[in-house]
């Protein structure tokens, strides 16, 4: 049991930051929501640890759980309202300020306009997660992923520049 806990702590320390930032991207900057999802993700990792068969890397498995946790929770009506409210708040802030925070808020706003799958792809890419892991997490072919990422990057840049 002690060595299982030690392994979990090691995995947690290695992936926690990236999972949190993936969640905050999904939550359009809502830190409380991101913390909930982050915690939920690692509770699931702990609970399902016996079901991990090693078919994929442990990182892929954890990112899948994180992405699916955010995706699943976003489908509930309560969460949708929260996200929509956030988007409208951020739109106001974009008009007022163009400082660092404003740029990040603008980026959250633009990411939030993407489809759920595209959100996953760009958030993982921005976290510099290897493309093979992204492809396995999202369930896409590597070639398709590369094309898709290039398209998403272009539309994201356009959105950030034009508002």
Q: Footprint of other proteins on this chain (CB under 8 A)?
A: 5, 8-9, 12-13, 16-17, 20-21, 24, 31, 35, 38-39, 42-44, 46-48, 51, 61, 64-65, 67-69, 71-72, 75, 100, 103-104, 107, 116-117, 120, 126, 128, 136-140, 153, 156-157, 160
Q: How far is the CB of 52 from other proteins (least distance, A)?
A: 8
Closer residue to other proteins (CB): 56 or 82: 56
Whose Cβ is closer to other proteins: residue 64's or residue 79's? 64
Tokens matching residue 49: 């640890």
Smallest separation (angstroms) from other proteins to the CB of 28: 12
**Which is closer to other proteins, CB of 67 or CB of 86?**
67
- If one counts every other C-beta atom within 10 angstroms of the C-beta of residue 137, the result is 24
Q: How many CA atoms lie within 13 A of 132 on its CB side?
A: 3
In 10 A of CB 130, how many CB atoms? 13
Q: Distance between CA atoms of 91 and 30, rounded to whole angstroms?
A: 14
Least distance (Å) from other proteins to the CB of residue 43?
A: 4
Longest dimension (CA), the chain: 54
Burial 8-33, CB ≥16 within 10 A → b, else e:
eeebeeebeebbbbbbbbbbbbbeeb
* Between 97 and 116, CB nearer to other proteins: 116
Least Cβ distance, residue 95 to other proteins (angstroms): 18
């Amino acid at each position: 049991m002690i060595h299982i806990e030690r392994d979990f702590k090691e995995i947690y320390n290695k992936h926690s930051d990236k999972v949190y930032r993936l969640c905050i991207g999904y939550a359009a900057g809502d830190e409380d929501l991101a913390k909930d999802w982050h915690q939920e993700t690692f509770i699931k990792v702990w609970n399902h640890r016996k079901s991990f068969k090693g078919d994929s890397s442990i990182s892929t498995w954890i990112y899948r759980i994180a992405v699916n946790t955010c995706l699943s929770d976003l489908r509930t009506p309560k969460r949708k309202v929260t996200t929509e409210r956030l988007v409208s708040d951020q739109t106001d802030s974009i008009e007022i300020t163009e400082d660092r925070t404003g740029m990040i808020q603008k980026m959250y706003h633009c990411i939030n306009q993407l489809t759920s799958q595209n959100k996953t792809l760009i958030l993982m890419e921005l976290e510099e997660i290897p493309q093979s892991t992204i492809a396995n997490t999202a369930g896409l072919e590597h070639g398709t992923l590369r094309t898709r990422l290039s398209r998403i990057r272009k539309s994201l840049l356009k959105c950030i520049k034009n508002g």
